[in-house]
Amino acid sequence: MTENHDSPAGNQPPQYGSNPNGGQPQYPGGQPQYQGGDAGNGHGPLQNQGGDLAAPKAVHTAARLIYISAAISVISLIISPFVFMATDEYKTLADQGQAAYAWGFFSAGAIFSLIVIVLQLLSARAATRGKNWGRIVLLILAILSLLGLGGAFQDAPGIIGAIGTILLIIGTIMLWVGQSGRWFKELKQRRNPMNR
């Protein structure tokens, strides 16, 4: 009779649910125990080595759309002064000696837009790190941008800005639905176990 001294159980049969070859134990129906999905294939969140849930692909895609939206907004800001100077309205203001007032309003609008763009970028970055405030700020920015979308199709910078607004809205929606929404919900539950 041969004894198996390598195994602590000796020649005992494997326990129910264990896999004699190692690896994941098999359960009735032949399916392994769920260990979390793979963020790359759309089946759920994936844990990183720190135990936190890694952001799924949809969150990173949404952030890229929001970054592109911000870049488009910057391009629109660069183009806008040149388009404004070519309008009849500017020429009329210049003839009346009030072009400086128009430039003052234009400059204030540009500064406000830059602040919004920076806020948009910071919020998108926060959202990719699982910060719920990031997607809330993006939702507010998307709603405010949507309100201004109606008059945006009047000139080239407006059309470019409208494309940026549409990308912002799509990216923001992506952060709230599907795999992204489940990821934020799971993060919230992990941070506050009382919500389970």
Confidence of residue 27 (pLDDT cuts 50, 70, 90): very low
Confidence of residue 116 (pLDDT cuts 50, 70, 90): very high
As a whole number of angstroms, the distance between CA 150 and CA 69 comes to 17
The span from the CA of 73 to the CA of 58, in Å, is 23
pLDDT at residue number 38: 44
Give the per-residue pLDDT at 41.
45
| Residue % of the chain over a pLDDT of 90 | 38
Tokens 């769920």 appear where? 34
Burial of 22 (0-12, 13-18, 19+ CB in 10 A): exposed
Least confident of 20-29, 123-132, 163-172: 20-29
| pLDDT of 99 strictly over 80 | no
Model pLDDT for residues 145-195, shown as the tens digit of each residue: 888 776 665 666 677 888 999 999 999 999 999 999 999 999 988 888 776
Which region, left, alpha or beta, applies to residue 158 given φ > 0 means left and ψ of -120 to 50 means alpha?
alpha
The lowest-confidence range among 36-40, 107-111, 129-133 is: 36-40
